Amino acid sequence: MSAATRRRHLIDNRFAWIACCLLASSTIAAAQTTDTRAPHASLNARDLGTFLAGAAVALAVHETAHVTADVAFGAAPGLRKVSFSGIPFFAITHRTLSPGREFVISSAGLWAQEVSNELLLTRRPRLREAHAPFAKGTLAFNTITSVAYAGAAFGRAGPVERDTRGAADAARLREPWVGGLVLVPAVLDAARYYKPEMRWLRWASRASKVAGAALVWRAVS
């Protein structure tokens, strides 16, 4: 593997994606974070701030998952200043690892998003009806970011350090296949949010997440 595929971003060129996520999140918040006891009440600044805080925590969890995987494998992670299209940011670097470990490190952030969504939708299956801006912000960020990653994988666009490319290289797969395995759970989780009464969505979502994680066996073989 090239050195580029071994780098994980802490604050990467996901700036553009984050901006899109926050913009979309604000729109979703305006429509859905009002108290169910007052369905026609206008969105207040506190709810919007809480919603965006949930999105920010989701981003932190994603990046922390990458770092945790680095540390768990003794990959000696470090910070390095880099830039993309003239935008300065930082990257987390680590030493060369086996394909199986590279796959886990590349996938860790996406797995964290999927687990987070699963916990939210299992504990609060009717989240849409609740006044829960923080939880909705977390769910929105996780879902929209997964869709963005899938789009990048399908188009093979973005930085070479993107998670889907790292996972695809480690598992010896074409990147669009990995993109599909990232997209399906995100779409199913969004459907669960809107249709919590449909039990098959719950199990289909869980099965798709397990299928994505199971690729680790291909990476280690």
| Rg of the chain in Å (alpha carbons) | 18
pLDDT of residue 154: 96
> What is the average pLDDT value for the chain, to the nearest integer?
82
Three-state secondary-structure class, residue 188 = helix
Give the per-residue pLDDT at 5: 44
Cα separation of 104 and 181, whole Å? 15
Contact status, residue 189 vs residue 178, Cβ threshold 8 Å: no
pLDDT of residue 24: 54
Residue 76 near residue 94 (C-beta atoms within 8 A): yes
Would you state the structure tokens that stand for residue 68, as one six-digit string?
């945790």
Q: What is the DSSP letter of 198?
A: -
CA angle 20, 185, 59 (to 5 degrees): 40
The pTM is what? 0.80
What are the tens digits of pLDDT across the range 5-21? 444 444 444 444 554 55
Residue 83's pLDDT is 53
> pLDDT tens digits for 163-203?
899 999 999 999 999 999 999 999 999 999 999 999 999 99
What pLDDT is stored for residue 126 in this prediction? Answer: 96
- Cross-sheet strand order for the sheet of 8-11: 8-11, 87-93, 78-84
- What residues in the chain have per-residue pLDDT under 50? 1-16, 19, 23, 26-27, 29-41
